[in-house]
A = this chain, B = another copy of it.
Amino acid sequence: MPLLTPDARGVYPIAPTPFYPDGRVDMESLDRMADFYMASGATGITVLGQMGEAPKLDAAESLDIARRIIGRMPVPVVVGVTAPGFAAMRALTQEVMAAGAAGVMIAPPNTLRTDDQITGYYAQAVDAIGADVPFLLQDYPLTFSVVMTPGVIQRIVQAHSSCVMLKHEDWPGLEKISALRRWESEGSMRRISILCGNGGLFLDFEGERGADGAMTGYAFPDMLADVVRLTAGGQRDEAHDLFDAHLPLLRYEQQQGVGLAVRKYVMMRRGVLTSDAQRKPAAQLSAKARAEVDYLLARLARHDPRAAVQPT
């Protein structure tokens, strides 16, 4: 498998982990989901992130899932290796890289505060996983409570050539993209790939600011791929029209805590997952919430036929 490079672009969905209602990993749905992502235009994939319920999997399950996806999707596979200690991070990294992963994703522990603490942490992480393993810096203050200035990202990028990508999900974050791209063009920062998360809430403008695409779990990765393509092709109005049609649902999905439940439910309605089950502990959708999602899907179907799901 080729390694992750700084010129990665397109859409890397953040994959959930399918479960049966009894809690076992649903490998059939995993395969179907992999195929669905490929058909949706995915140019890569990220597994074992928070949305993948990674902390609820044991070590063997985690590795099985990573291997299955690597074997089935002919695109770069990024694996989340965030761990409470560097020993576990190193061990998981070695396993998944040996299995053919393209790179790893590292989120900062939520205790980091100062600039030096953040850059120091990533220096230690690189020391642990090896400077030859491409990694992705996850910048998500809303979830991790770690605030990285553009200058801190610059320091990490300049210090470690193995930092090839930013998972950009700061909010607000548009000016951060502009700042990083300006530094790159001025020559004060090495070029990296910037893929945007945060549920895709600002994807309509992020591409225009210089992002290379999306890395998020919205249940319509096909829409994400279209928006990225339209933006890259200069079809601004068309990109916004499509994005705006999805925004009511996308916004509904982008709710801390219950977002995964919404996504699994929509992916079940779309026929990708057999069940929307999560392992415990998990936030559940109320009957009212499911009805709201159904209503949003029905409204969306007027603009995007892909939302015309089977009635339950």
Give the B-binding residues of A (Cβ under 8 A).
54-59, 61, 83-88, 90-91, 110-111, 113-117, 120-121, 124, 127, 147-149, 151-152, 171-172, 174-175, 178, 201-202, 204-205, 209, 240, 243-244, 247-248, 251-252, 255-258, 280-281, 286, 288-289, 292, 299
Contacts and interface: CB of A to CB of B under 8 A. Distances in A.
B251 A251 contact: yes
Contact of A151 (B116, B174, B292): B116
A281 B152 CA distance: 20
Contact of A127 (B85, B174, B280): B280
Contacts of A292: 174, 205
Contacts of A240: 248, 299
Contacts of A114: 114-115, 147-149, 152
Nearest to A243: B248
A84 B113 contact: no
Contacts of A257: 172
Contacts of A111: 110
A34 to B, nearest CB: 22
A55 B256 contact: no
A58 B87 contact: yes
Contacts of A85: 54-57
15 contacts: A57-B85, A59-B59, A59-B88, A83-B84, A110-B111, A124-B281, A174-B288, A174-B292, A175-B286, A178-B286, A201-B251, A202-B252, A205-B292, A244-B247, A247-B248
A167 to B, nearest CB: 19
Count the copies.
Answer: 4
B255 A244 contact: no
Contacts of A83: 55, 84
Contact of A86 (B56, B61, B127, B288): B56
Contacts of A205: 292
Contacts of A281: 86, 120-121, 124
A205 B202 CA distance: 21
A111 B111 CA distance: 11
Contacts of A124: 280-281
Nearest to A142: B142
